[in-house]
Structure 1
Amino acid sequence: MLQLNLKDKVAVITGGGGVLCSTIARNMAAEGIVTAILDLNLEAAEKVAQEITAEYGVKSIGLSANVLDKASLETAKATINKELGSIDYLVNGAGGNAASATTKAEEITENEMDSLEDTFYGLEMDGFDKVFALNFQGTLLPSMVFSKDMLGKKDGSIINVSSMNAFRPLTKIPAYSAAKSAINNFTQWLAVHMAKTGIRVNAIAPGFLLTNQNRFLLVDEKTGEATPRGQKIINGTPMERYGEPEELSGTVMYLLSDWARFVTGVVIPIDGGFSAYSGV
Protein backbone atom coordinates (compact mmCIF):
# COMPACT_ATOMS: atom_id res chain seq x y z
CA MET A 1 0.00 0.00 0.00
CA LEU A 2 1.33 3.47 -0.87
CA GLN A 3 2.42 5.66 2.03
CA LEU A 4 3.07 9.39 2.24
CA ASN A 5 6.82 8.67 2.48
CA LEU A 6 7.78 12.23 3.42
CA LYS A 7 9.89 11.81 6.55
CA ASP A 8 13.58 12.78 6.25
CA LYS A 9 13.20 14.01 2.68
CA VAL A 10 14.96 17.30 1.84
CA ALA A 11 12.90 20.16 0.40
CA VAL A 12 13.90 23.55 -0.98
CA ILE A 13 11.30 26.31 -0.67
CA THR A 14 11.91 29.55 -2.56
CA GLY A 15 10.20 32.64 -1.21
CA GLY A 16 10.27 30.77 2.08
CA GLY A 17 10.52 33.89 4.21
CA GLY A 18 7.02 35.00 3.21
CA VAL A 19 3.76 34.16 4.92
CA LEU A 20 2.46 31.57 2.44
CA CYS A 21 5.63 29.61 1.85
CA SER A 22 6.81 29.74 5.46
CA THR A 23 3.48 28.19 6.43
CA ILE A 24 3.97 25.44 3.86
CA ALA A 25 7.51 24.88 5.20
CA ARG A 26 6.21 24.54 8.77
CA ASN A 27 3.68 21.96 7.67
CA MET A 28 6.42 20.09 5.85
CA ALA A 29 8.46 20.00 9.04
CA ALA A 30 5.45 18.64 10.91
CA GLU A 31 5.62 15.66 8.53
CA GLY A 32 9.36 15.23 9.14
CA ILE A 33 10.63 16.93 5.99
CA VAL A 34 13.99 18.67 6.29
CA THR A 35 13.77 22.16 4.77
CA ALA A 36 16.00 24.75 3.16
CA ILE A 37 14.29 28.14 3.35
CA LEU A 38 15.42 30.40 0.51
CA ASP A 39 14.61 34.08 0.36
CA LEU A 40 16.19 37.26 -0.94
CA ASN A 41 15.90 38.49 2.66
CA LEU A 42 18.42 36.42 4.65
CA GLU A 43 17.08 37.58 8.01
CA ALA A 44 13.56 36.42 7.14
CA ALA A 45 14.81 33.05 5.86
CA GLU A 46 16.93 32.40 8.95
CA LYS A 47 14.10 33.40 11.28
CA VAL A 48 11.70 30.92 9.68
CA ALA A 49 14.32 28.15 9.75
CA GLN A 50 15.15 28.75 13.40
CA GLU A 51 11.48 28.73 14.37
CA ILE A 52 10.90 25.48 12.46
CA THR A 53 13.81 23.73 14.17
CA ALA A 54 12.73 24.96 17.60
CA GLU A 55 9.07 24.01 17.15
CA TYR A 56 9.32 20.71 15.29
CA GLY A 57 12.79 19.43 16.12
CA VAL A 58 13.47 18.95 12.41
CA LYS A 59 16.55 20.49 10.82
CA SER A 60 16.00 23.59 8.72
CA ILE A 61 18.40 26.17 7.33
CA GLY A 62 17.77 29.66 6.00
CA LEU A 63 19.72 30.97 3.05
CA SER A 64 19.75 34.11 0.95
CA ALA A 65 19.29 33.43 -2.77
CA ASN A 66 18.11 35.36 -5.78
CA VAL A 67 15.78 33.27 -7.95
CA LEU A 68 16.76 35.37 -10.98
CA ASP A 69 20.48 34.66 -10.55
CA LYS A 70 21.56 31.12 -11.46
CA ALA A 71 24.97 31.52 -9.78
CA SER A 72 23.25 32.56 -6.54
CA LEU A 73 21.05 29.47 -6.69
CA GLU A 74 24.01 27.18 -7.38
CA THR A 75 25.84 28.62 -4.35
CA ALA A 76 22.77 27.93 -2.23
CA LYS A 77 22.55 24.38 -3.60
CA ALA A 78 26.16 23.68 -2.61
CA THR A 79 25.39 24.75 0.96
CA ILE A 80 22.20 22.70 1.05
CA ASN A 81 23.99 19.58 -0.19
CA LYS A 82 26.72 20.06 2.40
CA GLU A 83 24.42 20.71 5.37
CA LEU A 84 21.28 18.73 4.53
CA GLY A 85 22.18 16.25 1.80
CA SER A 86 20.65 15.53 -1.58
CA ILE A 87 17.47 17.42 -2.56
CA ASP A 88 14.19 15.52 -3.01
CA TYR A 89 11.61 18.28 -3.40
CA LEU A 90 11.34 21.83 -4.72
CA VAL A 91 8.55 24.31 -4.07
CA ASN A 92 8.84 27.34 -6.35
CA GLY A 93 7.12 29.86 -4.13
CA ALA A 94 8.97 33.06 -5.00
CA GLY A 95 6.75 35.49 -6.88
CA GLY A 96 4.39 38.41 -6.50
CA ASN A 97 2.89 41.47 -8.12
CA ALA A 98 3.89 45.14 -8.06
CA ALA A 99 2.00 48.41 -8.24
CA SER A 100 4.18 49.50 -11.16
CA ALA A 101 2.72 46.66 -13.26
CA THR A 102 -0.87 47.43 -12.30
CA THR A 103 -3.36 49.65 -14.12
CA LYS A 104 -5.39 52.09 -12.06
CA ALA A 105 -8.47 51.58 -14.23
CA GLU A 106 -10.17 48.21 -14.64
CA GLU A 107 -11.20 48.98 -18.21
CA ILE A 108 -11.12 51.80 -20.74
CA THR A 109 -14.34 53.78 -20.66
CA GLU A 110 -15.30 57.23 -21.88
CA ASN A 111 -14.14 58.62 -18.55
CA GLU A 112 -10.63 57.21 -19.04
CA MET A 113 -10.15 58.60 -22.55
CA ASP A 114 -8.56 61.76 -21.15
CA SER A 115 -6.34 59.90 -18.70
CA LEU A 116 -4.92 56.95 -20.64
CA GLU A 117 -1.94 56.79 -18.27
CA ASP A 118 -4.30 55.03 -15.85
CA THR A 119 -5.00 52.27 -18.38
CA PHE A 120 -3.07 49.69 -20.39
CA TYR A 121 -1.31 52.54 -22.20
CA GLY A 122 0.28 53.80 -19.00
CA LEU A 123 1.89 50.54 -17.91
CA GLU A 124 5.56 50.84 -17.01
CA MET A 125 7.55 48.25 -18.94
CA ASP A 126 10.20 48.05 -16.22
CA GLY A 127 7.49 47.04 -13.76
CA PHE A 128 5.92 44.62 -16.22
CA ASP A 129 9.28 42.99 -16.92
CA LYS A 130 10.08 42.75 -13.22
CA VAL A 131 6.83 40.99 -12.35
CA PHE A 132 7.03 38.61 -15.30
CA ALA A 133 10.65 37.73 -14.55
CA LEU A 134 10.10 37.21 -10.83
CA ASN A 135 7.20 34.83 -11.36
CA PHE A 136 8.22 32.95 -14.51
CA GLN A 137 12.00 33.05 -14.63
CA GLY A 138 11.97 32.78 -10.85
CA THR A 139 10.32 29.38 -11.33
CA LEU A 140 12.37 28.23 -14.31
CA LEU A 141 15.86 28.88 -12.89
CA PRO A 142 15.38 27.16 -9.51
CA SER A 143 13.90 24.17 -11.37
CA MET A 144 17.06 23.97 -13.48
CA VAL A 145 19.35 24.08 -10.46
CA PHE A 146 17.64 22.13 -7.69
CA SER A 147 16.15 19.27 -9.72
CA LYS A 148 19.58 17.93 -10.67
CA ASP A 149 19.83 15.94 -7.42
CA MET A 150 16.50 14.29 -8.25
CA LEU A 151 17.84 13.05 -11.59
CA GLY A 152 20.34 10.81 -9.85
CA LYS A 153 17.63 9.26 -7.69
CA LYS A 154 15.10 8.88 -10.51
CA ASP A 155 12.62 10.31 -8.03
CA GLY A 156 11.50 13.75 -6.93
CA SER A 157 8.76 16.33 -7.01
CA ILE A 158 8.60 19.95 -8.15
CA ILE A 159 5.63 22.10 -7.18
CA ASN A 160 5.13 25.44 -8.85
CA VAL A 161 2.88 28.15 -7.46
CA SER A 162 0.43 29.41 -10.07
CA SER A 163 -2.74 31.41 -9.41
CA MET A 164 -6.39 31.60 -10.34
CA ASN A 165 -5.30 34.53 -12.52
CA ALA A 166 -3.79 31.97 -14.88
CA PHE A 167 -7.24 30.58 -15.65
CA ARG A 168 -9.31 33.74 -15.39
CA PRO A 169 -7.14 36.83 -15.82
CA LEU A 170 -8.13 39.65 -13.51
CA THR A 171 -8.48 43.28 -14.44
CA LYS A 172 -5.62 45.64 -13.52
CA ILE A 173 -2.84 43.02 -13.27
CA PRO A 174 -1.83 41.94 -16.78
CA ALA A 175 1.82 41.12 -15.96
CA TYR A 176 0.96 38.89 -13.01
CA SER A 177 -1.83 37.13 -14.91
CA ALA A 178 0.38 36.53 -17.94
CA ALA A 179 3.27 35.24 -15.83
CA LYS A 180 1.09 32.80 -13.90
CA SER A 181 -0.44 31.57 -17.15
CA ALA A 182 3.10 30.93 -18.39
CA ILE A 183 3.79 28.93 -15.23
CA ASN A 184 0.82 26.66 -15.99
CA ASN A 185 2.15 25.97 -19.47
CA PHE A 186 5.69 25.49 -18.18
CA THR A 187 4.44 23.06 -15.52
CA GLN A 188 2.88 20.87 -18.18
CA TRP A 189 5.88 21.19 -20.51
CA LEU A 190 8.39 20.27 -17.81
CA ALA A 191 6.20 17.41 -16.56
CA VAL A 192 6.35 15.82 -20.01
CA HIS A 193 10.05 16.58 -20.39
CA MET A 194 10.84 14.97 -17.03
CA ALA A 195 8.33 12.12 -17.11
CA LYS A 196 10.83 9.34 -17.76
CA THR A 197 13.28 10.61 -15.11
CA GLY A 198 10.95 9.92 -12.19
CA ILE A 199 10.60 13.62 -11.42
CA ARG A 200 7.00 14.79 -11.19
CA VAL A 201 6.06 18.43 -11.88
CA ASN A 202 2.77 19.90 -10.72
CA ALA A 203 1.37 23.22 -9.56
CA ILE A 204 -1.12 24.67 -7.12
CA ALA A 205 -3.31 27.61 -8.12
CA PRO A 206 -4.35 29.51 -5.00
CA GLY A 207 -7.45 31.64 -5.08
CA PHE A 208 -7.53 34.82 -3.06
CA LEU A 209 -5.43 35.04 0.08
CA LEU A 210 -4.47 38.37 1.62
CA THR A 211 -0.72 38.89 1.14
CA ASN A 212 1.67 41.82 1.22
CA GLN A 213 1.58 41.87 -2.59
CA ASN A 214 -2.19 42.28 -3.00
CA ARG A 215 -3.32 43.96 0.20
CA PHE A 216 -3.13 47.44 -1.39
CA LEU A 217 -5.69 46.32 -3.98
CA LEU A 218 -8.12 44.58 -1.64
CA VAL A 219 -8.15 46.52 1.63
CA ASP A 220 -8.63 50.25 2.14
CA GLU A 221 -5.59 51.41 4.11
CA LYS A 222 -7.52 54.15 5.89
CA THR A 223 -10.66 52.25 6.92
CA GLY A 224 -9.51 48.63 6.91
CA GLU A 225 -12.66 47.76 4.96
CA ALA A 226 -12.76 45.86 1.68
CA THR A 227 -12.16 47.94 -1.40
CA PRO A 228 -14.76 47.65 -4.17
CA ARG A 229 -12.37 45.19 -5.85
CA GLY A 230 -12.04 43.19 -2.63
CA GLN A 231 -15.81 43.01 -2.28
CA LYS A 232 -16.09 41.73 -5.85
CA ILE A 233 -13.75 38.89 -4.96
CA ILE A 234 -15.75 37.93 -1.89
CA ASN A 235 -18.96 38.06 -3.93
CA GLY A 236 -17.39 35.85 -6.62
CA THR A 237 -16.13 33.23 -4.18
CA PRO A 238 -18.89 30.79 -3.17
CA MET A 239 -17.30 30.28 0.27
CA GLU A 240 -17.48 34.08 0.70
CA ARG A 241 -14.06 34.51 2.30
CA TYR A 242 -10.37 34.69 1.58
CA GLY A 243 -8.30 31.55 1.87
CA GLU A 244 -5.86 31.01 4.72
CA PRO A 245 -2.19 30.08 4.24
CA GLU A 246 -2.67 26.77 6.09
CA GLU A 247 -5.20 25.69 3.49
CA LEU A 248 -2.56 25.36 0.77
CA SER A 249 -0.48 22.81 2.65
CA GLY A 250 -2.68 19.72 2.30
CA THR A 251 -2.54 19.84 -1.49
CA VAL A 252 1.21 20.46 -1.41
CA MET A 253 1.79 17.45 0.85
CA TYR A 254 -0.34 15.26 -1.40
CA LEU A 255 1.57 16.30 -4.53
CA LEU A 256 4.93 15.71 -2.85
CA SER A 257 3.99 12.32 -1.48
CA ASP A 258 3.92 8.84 -2.95
CA TRP A 259 0.13 9.07 -2.87
CA ALA A 260 0.50 11.21 -6.01
CA ARG A 261 3.07 8.94 -7.65
CA PHE A 262 1.07 8.80 -10.91
CA VAL A 263 0.19 12.52 -10.89
CA THR A 264 2.22 14.90 -13.02
CA GLY A 265 1.47 17.93 -15.19
CA VAL A 266 -1.61 19.08 -13.24
CA VAL A 267 -2.53 22.47 -11.80
CA ILE A 268 -4.85 22.17 -8.80
CA PRO A 269 -7.08 25.13 -7.85
CA ILE A 270 -7.35 25.95 -4.15
CA ASP A 271 -9.88 28.74 -4.46
CA GLY A 272 -13.04 28.33 -2.40
CA GLY A 273 -15.02 27.61 -5.58
CA PHE A 274 -14.04 30.81 -7.42
CA SER A 275 -13.19 28.99 -10.66
CA ALA A 276 -16.46 27.07 -10.61
CA TYR A 277 -18.77 30.06 -10.10
CA SER A 278 -20.30 31.87 -13.07
CA GLY A 279 -21.65 34.70 -10.93
CA VAL A 280 -25.23 33.55 -11.49
Structure 2
Amino acid sequence: MDQFSLSGKVIVVTGGTGILGGAFVDAIVEAGGTVGILGRQAQVAEERAAAITAKGGEAIALVADVMNQEQLEQAKEKVLAAFGKIDGLVNAAGGNMPDGVLQPDEDVFSMNMDGMRKVMDLNLWGTLLPTQVFGKAISQTGKGSIVNISSMNSKRAITKVLGYNMGKAAVDCYTQWFAVELGKRYGDKIRMNALAPGFFLTEQNRNLLTKPEGGYTERGELVIRQTPFKRFGSPDELKGALVWLLSDASQFVTGAMICVDGGFSIFGGV
Protein backbone atom coordinates (compact mmCIF):
# COMPACT_ATOMS: atom_id res chain seq x y z
CA MET A 1 0.00 0.00 0.00
CA ASP A 2 1.16 3.53 -0.81
CA GLN A 3 2.28 5.15 2.46
CA PHE A 4 1.26 8.54 1.11
CA SER A 5 -2.29 7.44 0.30
CA LEU A 6 -5.20 8.86 2.30
CA SER A 7 -7.56 6.20 1.00
CA GLY A 8 -10.05 5.18 3.66
CA LYS A 9 -9.28 8.22 5.82
CA VAL A 10 -11.93 10.79 6.75
CA ILE A 11 -10.38 14.22 7.31
CA VAL A 12 -12.03 17.48 8.37
CA VAL A 13 -10.61 20.80 7.09
CA THR A 14 -11.61 23.93 8.99
CA GLY A 15 -11.34 27.09 6.90
CA GLY A 16 -12.18 24.77 4.02
CA THR A 17 -13.98 27.54 2.14
CA GLY A 18 -10.85 29.73 1.89
CA ILE A 19 -8.11 29.77 -0.75
CA LEU A 20 -5.49 27.75 1.14
CA GLY A 21 -8.23 25.62 2.68
CA GLY A 22 -9.48 24.85 -0.83
CA ALA A 23 -6.02 23.61 -1.80
CA PHE A 24 -5.95 21.43 1.33
CA VAL A 25 -9.36 19.97 0.48
CA ASP A 26 -8.23 19.18 -3.07
CA ALA A 27 -4.99 17.60 -1.80
CA ILE A 28 -6.87 15.23 0.49
CA VAL A 29 -9.28 14.17 -2.26
CA GLU A 30 -6.44 13.73 -4.78
CA ALA A 31 -4.71 11.43 -2.26
CA GLY A 32 -7.88 9.32 -2.01
CA GLY A 33 -9.28 10.70 1.23
CA THR A 34 -12.81 11.66 2.23
CA VAL A 35 -13.09 15.29 3.31
CA GLY A 36 -15.32 17.39 5.51
CA ILE A 37 -15.28 20.99 4.22
CA LEU A 38 -15.93 23.19 7.24
CA GLY A 39 -16.49 26.93 7.03
CA ARG A 40 -18.97 29.73 7.60
CA GLN A 41 -19.75 30.15 3.88
CA ALA A 42 -22.43 27.52 3.31
CA GLN A 43 -22.68 28.10 -0.45
CA VAL A 44 -18.94 27.71 -1.02
CA ALA A 45 -18.77 24.57 1.14
CA GLU A 46 -21.75 23.04 -0.70
CA GLU A 47 -20.33 23.91 -4.13
CA ARG A 48 -16.92 22.43 -3.32
CA ALA A 49 -18.44 19.27 -1.88
CA ALA A 50 -20.74 18.88 -4.91
CA ALA A 51 -17.83 19.34 -7.34
CA ILE A 52 -15.83 16.64 -5.58
CA THR A 53 -18.77 14.23 -5.46
CA ALA A 54 -19.47 14.83 -9.16
CA LYS A 55 -15.94 13.64 -9.94
CA GLY A 56 -16.38 10.45 -7.92
CA GLY A 57 -14.81 11.66 -4.67
CA GLU A 58 -16.35 11.79 -1.21
CA ALA A 59 -16.97 15.12 0.54
CA ILE A 60 -19.44 16.71 2.91
CA ALA A 61 -20.17 20.40 3.55
CA LEU A 62 -20.03 21.45 7.21
CA VAL A 63 -21.26 24.92 8.14
CA ALA A 64 -19.75 26.09 11.44
CA ASP A 65 -17.80 28.89 13.08
CA VAL A 66 -14.60 27.56 14.65
CA MET A 67 -15.21 29.81 17.67
CA ASN A 68 -18.60 28.18 18.34
CA GLN A 69 -18.25 24.83 20.10
CA GLU A 70 -21.92 23.93 19.71
CA GLN A 71 -21.73 24.35 15.94
CA LEU A 72 -18.51 22.31 15.86
CA GLU A 73 -20.18 19.50 17.82
CA GLN A 74 -23.06 19.47 15.33
CA ALA A 75 -20.57 19.33 12.45
CA LYS A 76 -18.76 16.41 14.10
CA GLU A 77 -22.02 14.48 14.47
CA LYS A 78 -22.80 15.13 10.80
CA VAL A 79 -19.45 13.63 9.75
CA LEU A 80 -19.87 10.62 12.02
CA ALA A 81 -23.40 10.03 10.76
CA ALA A 82 -22.17 10.11 7.15
CA PHE A 83 -18.86 8.24 7.41
CA GLY A 84 -18.76 6.62 10.86
CA LYS A 85 -15.35 7.94 11.93
CA ILE A 86 -12.82 10.78 11.75
CA ASP A 87 -9.14 10.07 11.05
CA GLY A 88 -7.68 13.54 10.66
CA LEU A 89 -8.10 17.28 11.14
CA VAL A 90 -6.55 20.26 9.37
CA ASN A 91 -6.94 23.47 11.37
CA ALA A 92 -6.82 25.90 8.45
CA ALA A 93 -9.25 28.50 9.85
CA GLY A 94 -7.64 31.74 10.96
CA GLY A 95 -6.40 34.97 9.47
CA ASN A 96 -6.31 38.66 10.15
CA MET A 97 -8.81 41.53 10.45
CA PRO A 98 -8.54 45.30 9.89
CA ASP A 99 -8.89 45.96 13.65
CA GLY A 100 -5.79 43.84 14.25
CA VAL A 101 -3.51 45.98 12.08
CA LEU A 102 -1.25 48.78 13.37
CA GLN A 103 -0.22 51.17 10.59
CA PRO A 104 3.25 52.81 10.65
CA ASP A 105 1.78 56.26 11.31
CA GLU A 106 -0.31 55.10 14.29
CA ASP A 107 0.78 55.44 17.92
CA VAL A 108 2.23 52.13 19.11
CA PHE A 109 0.99 52.94 22.63
CA SER A 110 -2.58 53.54 21.47
CA MET A 111 -3.15 50.41 19.40
CA ASN A 112 -6.54 48.72 19.18
CA MET A 113 -6.15 46.17 21.97
CA ASP A 114 -9.58 44.63 21.42
CA GLY A 115 -8.79 44.18 17.73
CA MET A 116 -5.42 42.57 18.46
CA ARG A 117 -7.04 40.25 21.02
CA LYS A 118 -9.81 39.28 18.61
CA VAL A 119 -7.30 38.26 15.92
CA MET A 120 -5.15 36.38 18.42
CA ASP A 121 -8.23 34.54 19.74
CA LEU A 122 -9.36 33.55 16.25
CA ASN A 123 -6.01 31.99 15.38
CA LEU A 124 -5.39 30.34 18.76
CA TRP A 125 -8.84 29.30 20.03
CA GLY A 126 -9.97 28.72 16.45
CA THR A 127 -7.35 25.94 16.46
CA LEU A 128 -7.87 24.63 20.00
CA LEU A 129 -11.67 24.34 19.90
CA PRO A 130 -11.89 22.23 16.70
CA THR A 131 -9.12 20.01 18.08
CA GLN A 132 -11.08 19.42 21.27
CA VAL A 133 -14.18 18.48 19.27
CA PHE A 134 -12.82 16.54 16.29
CA GLY A 135 -9.78 15.26 18.16
CA LYS A 136 -12.11 13.45 20.55
CA ALA A 137 -13.59 11.60 17.57
CA ILE A 138 -10.09 10.80 16.28
CA SER A 139 -9.23 9.31 19.67
CA GLN A 140 -12.28 7.06 19.37
CA THR A 141 -11.16 5.98 15.89
CA GLY A 142 -7.86 5.06 17.56
CA LYS A 143 -5.39 6.51 15.09
CA GLY A 144 -5.04 9.82 13.31
CA SER A 145 -3.17 12.99 12.46
CA ILE A 146 -3.90 16.64 13.28
CA VAL A 147 -2.24 19.41 11.27
CA ASN A 148 -2.25 22.99 12.51
CA ILE A 149 -1.38 25.98 10.34
CA SER A 150 1.55 28.01 11.57
CA SER A 151 2.99 31.01 9.74
CA MET A 152 6.11 33.03 9.02
CA ASN A 153 4.61 35.48 11.54
CA SER A 154 5.49 33.08 14.36
CA LYS A 155 9.11 32.86 13.22
CA ARG A 156 9.87 36.55 12.59
CA ALA A 157 8.50 39.90 13.77
CA ILE A 158 6.27 40.85 10.84
CA THR A 159 5.23 44.49 11.15
CA LYS A 160 1.64 45.77 11.47
CA VAL A 161 -0.06 42.48 12.44
CA LEU A 162 0.73 41.95 16.13
CA GLY A 163 -2.44 40.00 16.95
CA TYR A 164 -1.77 37.57 14.11
CA ASN A 165 1.90 37.24 15.13
CA MET A 166 0.91 36.39 18.71
CA GLY A 167 -1.84 34.01 17.62
CA LYS A 168 0.42 31.99 15.36
CA ALA A 169 3.27 31.97 17.92
CA ALA A 170 0.76 30.55 20.42
CA VAL A 171 -0.30 27.93 17.86
CA ASP A 172 3.36 26.84 17.61
CA CYS A 173 3.55 26.50 21.39
CA TYR A 174 0.28 24.59 21.44
CA THR A 175 1.41 22.25 18.62
CA GLN A 176 4.49 21.19 20.55
CA TRP A 177 2.74 20.94 23.93
CA PHE A 178 -0.23 18.99 22.62
CA ALA A 179 1.96 16.68 20.51
CA VAL A 180 3.82 15.69 23.69
CA GLU A 181 0.57 15.10 25.58
CA LEU A 182 -0.85 13.01 22.74
CA GLY A 183 2.33 10.95 22.66
CA LYS A 184 2.22 10.31 26.40
CA ARG A 185 -1.43 9.23 26.24
CA TYR A 186 -1.77 7.53 22.85
CA GLY A 187 1.79 6.58 21.93
CA ASP A 188 2.32 6.91 18.19
CA LYS A 189 -1.37 6.58 17.37
CA ILE A 190 -2.37 10.27 17.31
CA ARG A 191 0.04 12.92 16.08
CA MET A 192 0.00 16.72 15.85
CA ASN A 193 2.22 18.76 13.55
CA ALA A 194 2.12 22.18 11.92
CA LEU A 195 2.48 23.41 8.36
CA ALA A 196 4.04 26.88 8.15
CA PRO A 197 3.28 28.52 4.80
CA GLY A 198 5.38 31.40 3.57
CA PHE A 199 3.68 34.19 1.64
CA PHE A 200 0.85 32.98 -0.57
CA LEU A 201 -1.62 35.33 -2.21
CA THR A 202 -5.06 35.00 -0.62
CA GLU A 203 -8.15 37.21 -0.51
CA GLN A 204 -6.99 38.55 2.86
CA ASN A 205 -3.52 39.71 1.81
CA ARG A 206 -3.79 40.31 -1.94
CA ASN A 207 -4.30 44.07 -1.58
CA LEU A 208 -1.48 44.30 0.97
CA LEU A 209 1.05 42.62 -1.32
CA THR A 210 0.03 43.39 -4.91
CA LYS A 211 -1.31 46.38 -6.84
CA PRO A 212 -4.59 46.12 -8.78
CA GLU A 213 -2.82 47.25 -11.94
CA GLY A 214 -0.09 44.64 -11.44
CA GLY A 215 3.23 44.53 -9.63
CA TYR A 216 4.02 44.52 -5.93
CA THR A 217 3.20 47.01 -3.21
CA GLU A 218 6.03 48.25 -1.00
CA ARG A 219 5.20 45.48 1.49
CA GLY A 220 5.10 42.93 -1.31
CA GLU A 221 8.54 44.05 -2.46
CA LEU A 222 9.89 43.59 1.07
CA VAL A 223 8.52 40.03 1.18
CA ILE A 224 10.05 39.15 -2.19
CA ARG A 225 13.39 40.63 -1.12
CA GLN A 226 13.33 38.42 1.99
CA THR A 227 12.43 35.27 0.00
CA PRO A 228 15.40 33.53 -1.68
CA PHE A 229 13.08 32.09 -4.36
CA LYS A 230 12.00 35.69 -5.20
CA ARG A 231 8.31 34.88 -5.63
CA PHE A 232 5.13 34.14 -3.69
CA GLY A 233 3.98 30.57 -3.22
CA SER A 234 1.19 28.84 -5.11
CA PRO A 235 -1.46 27.11 -2.93
CA ASP A 236 -0.80 23.84 -4.79
CA GLU A 237 2.76 23.89 -3.42
CA LEU A 238 1.39 23.17 0.06
CA LYS A 239 -0.29 19.94 -0.99
CA GLY A 240 2.66 17.56 -0.78
CA ALA A 241 3.69 18.55 2.74
CA LEU A 242 0.09 18.40 3.97
CA VAL A 243 -0.58 14.93 2.53
CA TRP A 244 2.71 13.69 4.00
CA LEU A 245 1.75 14.95 7.48
CA LEU A 246 -1.72 13.41 7.27
CA SER A 247 -0.52 10.09 5.86
CA ASP A 248 1.22 7.08 7.38
CA ALA A 249 4.41 8.18 5.62
CA SER A 250 5.05 10.58 8.53
CA GLN A 251 4.10 8.18 11.30
CA PHE A 252 7.23 8.94 13.40
CA VAL A 253 6.78 12.72 13.06
CA THR A 254 5.06 14.73 15.78
CA GLY A 255 5.43 18.26 17.14
CA ALA A 256 7.18 19.32 13.94
CA MET A 257 6.75 22.59 12.05
CA ILE A 258 7.25 22.21 8.32
CA CYS A 259 8.08 25.48 6.55
CA VAL A 260 6.92 25.78 2.93
CA ASP A 261 8.19 29.27 2.37
CA GLY A 262 10.74 29.59 -0.43
CA GLY A 263 13.42 30.08 2.23
CA PHE A 264 11.83 33.15 3.90
CA SER A 265 12.23 31.85 7.46
CA ILE A 266 15.94 31.07 7.16
CA PHE A 267 17.18 34.08 5.16
CA GLY A 268 18.96 36.77 7.17
CA GLY A 269 18.42 39.35 4.45
CA VAL A 270 22.14 39.64 3.66
Query: Does TM, scored on the shorter chain, surpass 0.5?
Result: yes
The AA in structure 1 aligned to 2:111 is: L
What is residue 239 of structure 2 aligned with on the other side?
249
Give the drift of 1:123.
2.3
Partner of 1:170: 158
Letter of the 1:58 partner, please give it. G
Per the alignment, residue 65 of structure 1 pairs with 64
Which of these two proteins has the greater Rg computed from alpha carbons? 1
Question: Residue by residue, what CA displacement relative to the aligned partner does 1:223-270 show, whole Å, maximum 9, x if unpaired?
Answer: 333111110101110100000000111001111111111100011110
1:90-126 deviation line (CA, Å, top 9, x unaligned): 0000000112111110xxxxxx5xxxxx142342223
Q: Distance in 2 between matches of 1:68 and 1:28?
A: 24
Match of 1:271 among 261, 267, 270: 261
Identify unmatched segments of 5+ residues in structure 2: none
Q: Which runs of 5+ in 1 are unaligned?
A: 106-111, 113-117
Shift of 1:218: 1.1
Q: Is the CA contact (8 Å cut-off) linking 1:163 and 1:180 kept in structure 2?
A: yes
RMSD between aligned alpha carbons?
A: 1.4
- How many Å separate the matches in 2 of 1:120 and 1:51? 47
C-alpha distance in 2 between matches for 1:122 and 1:213 = 24
TM superposition score normalised by structure 2? 0.95
**Please, which moves more after superposition, 1-10 or 210-219?**
1-10
Q: Deviations over 1:113-142 (max 9, x none)?
A: xxxxx1423422232122111111000000
Structure 1 partner of 2:196: 205
* Matched residue, 1:28: 28
Deviation larger for 119-128 or 188-197: 119-128
2:45 aligns with: 45
Partner of 1:85: 84
Query: Partners of 1:5 and 1:155 in 2: how far apart?
Result: 15
The answer on 1:147 being equivalent to 2:135 is yes
Matches within 5 A, 1:69-218: 69-105=68-104, 112=105, 118-195=106-183, 196-197=185-186, 198-218=189-209
In the TM superposition, what is the alpha-carbon distance from 1:3 to its structure 2 partner? 2.1
Give the CA deviation at 1:2.
7.4
Residues 19-65 of structure 1: CA deviation (Å, up to 9, x unaligned): 1111111121111100110001111111111112223x111011210
Q: Which digits, 9 at most, give the CA deviation of each residue in 1:165-217, with x for residues without a partner?
A: 10112011111011000000000011011113121000000000011111232
Residue 84 of structure 1: how far off its partner (Å): 1.9
1:47 is matched by which residue type in structure 2? E
CA contact (8 A) 2:5 2:32 kept: no
Asked if 1 retains the 8 angstrom alpha-carbon contact of 2:5 and 2:31, the reply is no
Q: CA separation in 2, counterparts of 1:157 and 1:35? A: 14
| Residues 1:120 and 1:87: Cα distance change in structure 2 (over 3 Å) | same
Partner SS for 2:265 = helix
Indicate the SS of the match to 2:109. Answer: helix
Q: Is the 8 A contact 1:103 1:122 kept in 2?
A: no
When the two structures are superposed, what TM-score results if normalisation uses the length of structure 1? Answer: 0.92
Provide the C-alpha distance between the structure 1 equivalents of 2:217 and 2:5, rounded to a whole number of angstroms.
Answer: 44
Q: Is the 8 A contact 1:28 1:253 kept in 2?
A: yes
Which residue identity lines up with residue 149 of structure 1 in the other structure?
A
Cα offset, 1:5, TM superposition? 4.4
1:13 corresponds to? 13
Q: Which amino acid aligns with 2:24?
A: I
Alpha-carbon contact 1:70-1:141 (below 8 Å) kept: yes
Maintained 8 Å contact 2:11/2:86: yes
Paired positions, count: 267
Q: Give the residue type in structure 1 aligned to 2:194.
A: A
